Amino acid sequence: MAGTRDRYGFDEFLPEIPRYLKEKRYIAIFPRPLQTHLFRFHHASLHLPRPSSRRKHEIQHLVRLFAEAAGRARKAGFDAVEVHGAHGYLLNQFTSPLSNRRTDGYGGSFEGRIRFPLEIVAEVRKEVGSDSLVLYRLGASDGEGRGVTIGESQTFAQRLVRAGVNIVDVSGGLIGEAPEGMTGQGYFLPLAEKIKQAVDAPVIGVGGITDSAFADQAIREGRVDLVAVGRALLADPEWALSARRTLEPS
């Protein structure tokens, strides 16, 4: 999502964001025009206008905005940046054939659908230099036969690594971060295992992980190289400290 005239990419407008959101002065961006209810799947409370597609020069502008955002993170002292390409957000909408029906160089074939995120990764890498980590959150499966497949995602992950990604963070695609019917801890680990087989780079596994012993076992068994924990940290800010105490040899 970008603000009016894509203004949220610039530091001087950051204080305006709360007011613009309150006044609903923003534009939803999709690879192509879609029915608004598809966007409400993840943003049910926003009631957005009909999403608009982007022309080529506008896509190139967005590529630059991603890179500038990464540059600001580096200047702020962060050691790594992560490009979000999962959960039905913009980059995932380009990679999925369910949402990308473009007929130009940014759609159609698999190569066309992955072009936009690859251009972003390459530009981000140039912006942050060789001594910063670049992660990519990969929507590895849409959970729908006509959507992104794990085979495509394995190839895409290889291309991401060649473009400059250091770590691949594997999650869901258009099915979101917590799909219905997926229960238990580590429900995206099977996808991460498949990606790990395809790339020569560390892979992160996610999916409702709350137990440190489960996380430790997934890494020790070689299923993934790292795990990401989200909601458990929100529930317990000292989760990592507790995990360390639990897992350290007595």
Catalytic residue list: 89
**How many helices (H) does the chain have, and how many strands (E)?**
10, 7
Radius of gyration of the chain (CA): 19
| 44 three-state secondary structure | coil
How far, CA to CA in Å, does 25 sit from each of 5, 11, 30, 240?
10, 18, 17, 39
The token pair at 154 is 């394995």
| Cα gap 37→27, rounded to integer Å | 15
Neighbours of 161 (CB within 10 A): 18
